[in-house]
Structure 1
Amino acid sequence: MKNLKPEYNKSLIYARLGFDKKRTGLSGPMRDEAEKLIKKAENTLNLTGAYRIMNLDRIDPPKVILEDGTVLSGVRLAELMKDCDQAIIMLATGGSKIMELINRLQEEGRMSEAVIIDAAASEITDSVLDMVMLHVNQMLRSKGRVLTKMRFSPGYGDFDLEQQRELYRLMNGEAFGITLNEACLLIPEKSVLAIAGISGNRPK
Structure 2
Amino acid sequence: MNDIKVMGCLKPTYNKSLILSRLGYDKHRTAISNESLRGIGRLITYAENTLSIMATYRIIDISYIDSPRVVLEDGTILSGKKLSELLKNSCQALVMGATGGAKIMELIEQLQVEGKMSDAVVIDAAASEITDSALDFVMSIVGQYLKPRGKFLTKMRFSPGYGDFEITQQKDFYRLLEAQNLGIKLNEACLLIPEKSVFAIAGICGEKE
The TM-score by the shorter chain falls in which range?
A: over 0.9
Match of 2:186 among 172, 180, 183: 180
Q: Deviations over 1:57-110 (max 9, x none)?
A: 110100000001000000000011111110110010000000000000001100
1:160 aligns with 2:166: yes
| Distance (whole Å) between structure 1 residues aligned to residue 175 and residue 22 of structure 2 | 30
- Secondary structure of residue in 2 paired with 1:142: helix
What per-residue deviation string (whole Å, max 9, x for no partner) do you get for residues 28-56 of structure 1?
A: 11111100000000000001111010011
Instruction: Normalising by structure 2, report the TM-score.
Output: 0.96
**How far apart in 2 are the matches of 1:176 and 1:4?**
13
* 1:118 corresponds to which of 124, 142, 150: 124
In 2, the alpha carbon distance for the partners of 1:43 and 1:103 equals: 17
Q: TM-score, normalised by structure 1?
A: 0.98
Aligned-partner SS, 2:90: coil
Match of 1:69 in 2: 75
Q: Indicate which of 17, 27, 30 corresponds to 1:11.
A: 17
- What is aligned with 2:3? none
* Structure 2: 5+ residue stretches without partners: 1-6
Q: Number of residues paired by the alignment? A: 203
Residue equivalent to 1:200: 206
User: In structure 1, what is the Cα distance between the partners aligned to 2:61 and 2:28?
Assistant: 45
Partners of 2:161 and 2:142 in 1: CA distance: 24
Query: In 2, are the aligned partners of 1:143 and 1:202 still within 8 Å (CA)?
Result: no
Give the whole-Å Cα distance in 2 for the aligned partners of 1:35 and 1:106: 19
**C-alpha distance in structure 2 between counterparts of 1:28 and 1:55, whole Å:** 50
Q: Which runs of 5+ in 1 are unaligned?
A: none
- RMSD of aligned C-alpha atoms? 0.7
Identity %: 61
